[in-house]
Amino acid sequence: MKNYLDISPEVAAALAENRPVVALESTIISHGMPYPQNVQTALEVEATVRASGATPATIAIIDGRLKAGLSVDEIEQLGQAGHAVAKVSRRDLPFIIAKQAMGATTVATTMMIAHMAGIKVFATGGIGGAHRGAQTSFDVSADLQELARTPVAVVCAGAKSILDLGLTLEYLETHGVPVVGYQTALLPAFFTRDSAFKVDYQLDSAAQIAQAMHAARALNLSAGMVIANPIPEQYAMPTASIDAAIEQALREADEQQILGKQATPFLLARVCELTGGDSLSSNIQLVLNNARLASAIAVAYCAG
């Protein structure tokens, strides 16, 4: 697959010199937020990574080429096109490449391309997971299977709160994926700082997380690692209001039979509407917070 991969000069130089690099996904640009906030946020996240001592590598597919590191023009192109851009998971890759099309990478494909490029740390908003009712529908995000087989540390605000968090954790446990809480013993639930579920390990510094990553690499473990980083307290949303919005959005998705890869963008957009835009503001802040922690982990990892 490296024959299809383009690493930007900035990212390639950082990797060659063992300087810290943080991968960033592109679905959040095309499908996660409206234009122009999506482009503004993507550029702000990149600036935050740089200010935190690492090199950003936003990942996408442009004209059928896998890209690790995008130009400002490419980010603008993704943002303006929005939902017209294909949302690309593992199964979609050969078709988007064959068509020489543009694609926004999910957590799963961002992990794949980051690993291919040699990037060890990836910052996103929230991972996908087992949807509510997955015990009968089998609606489980490909993100979880990718975490089971791709050794990249994913810094997130937990799993998206529209999901079944208990089933998501059970799936990760079964497939040997550790869930680490950064300075917390409870799993963050994206818009809120905690949930009723415990993480596997609480680690309180970037250096401790980097040490665990080095140990996993030395043991040749193939799984990734979930680093659950709670949203900053001042941007967290009241549990009751976000739960009410999610329940309404889930009912509407069920009534409109919105399933599969279309479900998450619909639910997040509807929750944003129902909260008067508050969830979008929280979403932006948690992504920036994850970018800062991912950069600190990448710095510590490169320091050995």
> Angle CA(196)–CA(155)–CA(25) in degrees, nearest 5?
120
Lookup: tokens for 203: 């680690």
The single-letter code of the amino acid at 98 is A
Helices 165-174 and 142-149 meet at what angle, rounded to 10? 30
Q: Is 155 helix (H, G, I), strand (E, B) or coil?
A: strand
**25 among known catalytic residues:** yes
CA dist., res. 252 & res. 242, Å (int): 15
**198 among known catalytic residues:** no
CA dist., res. 67 & res. 42, Å (int): 15
Between β-strands 103-105 and 55-62, what pairing exists: parallel, antiparallel or unpaired? antiparallel
Tokens 């710095």 correspond to 299
Who contacts 40 (Cβ-Cβ below 8 Å, separation ≥6)? none
Q: Is 198 helix (H, G, I), strand (E, B) or coil?
A: strand
Catalytic residue among 67, 87, 160, 261: 160
* Nearest CA-CA partner of 19 in 49, 43, 41: 49
68 in the Ramachandran plot: left (φ > 0), alpha (ψ -120 to 50) or beta? beta
Phi, psi (degrees; rounded to nearest 5) at 216: -60, -40
**Cβ atoms within 10 Å, residue 77:** 18
Catalytic residues: 25, 160
